[in-house]
Amino acid sequence: MPSLPGFFANYQETMTRALDAMVPASRPDPVRDAMRYTLLAPSKRVRAVVVLLAADLCGGASRAMPAACAIEAIHASSLILDDLPCMDDAPLRRGRPTVHTVHGEAVAILAAFGLLNDAYGHLSRSYDPALAARVTALYADAVGLDGLVAGQAEDVLATDAAISFETLERIHRRKTGVLFSAAATAGALTAGGSAGDIEALTAYAKNLGLAFQVVDDLLDVTGTEAETGKAVRHDARKTTFVSFSGVDGARELAQELCRTATLALTPFGSRAARLGELADFVAARRL
């Protein structure tokens, strides 16, 4: 079974330490507990890894950690909201009961706001004003009305409805793809990457992010709860890449998107090997 590429392990440890410091367990507080419950739960931290690898490729990851932490906090915020009874009504996430089933809906919603707020606060405190403004605007655009919020709204409203492939793709480019693109761009910005670097990395991440979602749909049908850490066969009322293209078609689409992602790395040559490895992992992942 394909597992995380070896280099992920180091990043995961470092990331968990940094996220722990970002939302410290300084005093007992129900919202803080709920934020940490989700933020520090076992996760691939793939968006943070994209930030760090993109920075590494553009000159060094020494300034990338706050952007990596902030994107993980935004992602964790979105997971809490996505799992609520009024959205996906999910019982399990990251191998644990979802935050609202443990802490209640009110605290879960406040924890999601808390994480989103801390993400932007962390950027503003960690970078000089110009870089903080650029990364904050980048993330705000990724979350907003052309990103996660828009994709989620269209997805929720399409429950039980027949939608076109074009609509399905637009939903998931916004719900999932946009945050991958923001991760790659943020990494490049923190390392002083050129416009050409950002263009190539955006093309890579855009395709990687959509592939990531196609595989997510596949895992809902072919995966297990133990592998994915979440309830499977949960997407029955939604049009997915699998309901549209079948298991084989969706797998082929994911592989094609990962090949396109890797092709976008050509200008970097062998320096982009790890991002290529990440694309291979995404195409074959079972977790």
Q: Closest by alpha carbon to 82, among 179, 1, 12?
A: 179
Compare residues 77 and 190 and give the one whose CB is closer to ligand GRG. 77
Specify the residue for token string 């990251």: 94
d(CA 106, CA 114): 12
d(CA 179, CA 48): 10
Near ligand GRG by CB under 6 A: residue from 11, 36, 44, 65: 44
- What does the per-residue mask of binding to ligand GRG show for 190-209, with x meaning CB under 6 A? --------------------
CB of residue 78 to ligand GRG, shortest distance in Å:
4
Near ligand GRG by CB under 6 A: residue from 98, 152, 202, 245: 152
Q: Is 118 helix (H, G, I), strand (E, B) or coil?
A: helix
The helix or strand, by DSSP H or E, that contains position 231, with its residue range, turns out to be: none
d(CA 93, CA 38): 9
Q: Terminus-to-terminus CA distance in the chain, angstroms?
A: 10
Near ligand GRG by CB under 6 A: residue from 213, 240, 245, 255: 213
Compare residues 59 and 170 and give the one whose CB is closer to ligand GRG. 170
Q: Does 169 bind ligand GRG (CB under 6 A)?
A: no
Compare residues 100 and 175 and give the one whose CB is closer to ligand GRG. 175
Near ligand GRG by CB under 6 A: residue from 53, 57, 64, 148: 148
Q: Does 176 bind ligand GRG (CB under 6 A)?
A: yes
Q: Does 143 bind ligand GRG (CB under 6 A)?
A: yes
CB of residue 201 to ligand GRG, shortest distance in Å:
18
Q: Does 68 bind ligand GRG (CB under 6 A)?
A: no
Q: Does 12 bind ligand GRG (CB under 6 A)?
A: no
Q: Does 94 bind ligand GRG (CB under 6 A)?
A: yes
CB of residue 236 to ligand GRG, shortest distance in Å:
17
- What does the per-residue mask of binding to ligand GRG show for 70-89, with x meaning CB under 6 A? ----xx-xxx-xx-------
Strand-pair partners of 97 = 92
Q: Identity (one letter) of the amino acid at 58? A: C
Helix-, strand-, coil-residue percentages of the chain, each rounded to 5: 75, 0, 25
Compare residues 197 and 253 and give the one whose CB is closer to ligand GRG. 253
Number of residues that bind ligand GRG (CB under 6 A): 21
Beta-carbon contacts of residue 93 (< 8 Å; ≥ 6 apart) = 38, 41, 79, 83, 99, 229, 230
Compare residues 20 and 266 and give the one whose CB is closer to ligand GRG. 20
Beta-carbon contacts of residue 282 (< 8 Å; ≥ 6 apart) = 46, 208, 211, 212, 215, 254, 258
Tally Cβ neighbours within 10 Å of residue 157.
Answer: 11
Beta-carbon contacts of residue 125 (< 8 Å; ≥ 6 apart) = none
Q: Is 90 helix (H, G, I), strand (E, B) or coil?
A: coil
CB of residue 119 to ligand GRG, shortest distance in Å:
9
By CB under 6 A, name the binding residues for ligand GRG: 43-44, 46, 74-75, 77-79, 81-82, 94, 116, 143, 148-149, 152, 175-176, 212-213, 216
